[in-house]
Amino acid sequence: MGRYLDLARRALEASAGALDGEKSEKSEKREIRLADPYQDLARAMLAKLTDQPVGMVPWLRQNYQGLYEELIIRLPDEIHSLWEEQAPLTEFEHILDLWLVAHRTACEIFRKERQ
């Protein structure tokens, strides 16, 4: 689950700028991150996630091991690798789309079976 959380943290990481007249190496790095198209795509994908049911991830691990592994392990690892390698954006976006579909599928199954 580490890569899953790292992906979300990295994509949503605060990007507070330096105060007027205050410029540091750290703030310059933040400015560079703002221009990261991989981060922009990941943020856009995360913005599409809506109300994940509480308890879904542990429930998936217990009841749908394959979907759990796709959602929490395999696809986040692939997203991380493609981001680090600066793979073609279309390939990166495709994996993000697959992750979004897996997430929506997991939410749907969880809600249906928990009714």
**Which ranges in 1-115 belong to alpha helices (H)?**
2-12, 25-34, 37-47, 56-63, 65-68, 75-85, 89-113
Nearest to 7 by CA among 90, 95, 79: 79
Q: pTM of this prediction? A: 0.70
Give me the pLDDT at residue 31, please: 55
Task: Specify whether the CB–CB gap between 92 and 41 falls below 8 A.
Answer: yes
Q: Where do the domains of the chain lie?
A: 2-113
Mean pLDDT computed over 13-35: 51
pLDDT confidence of residue 9: 59
For the chain, what's the residue count? 115
Residue 95 scores a pLDDT above 60: yes
Chain centre to alpha carbon of residue 13: 11
Residue 91 has pLDDT above 60, yes or no: yes
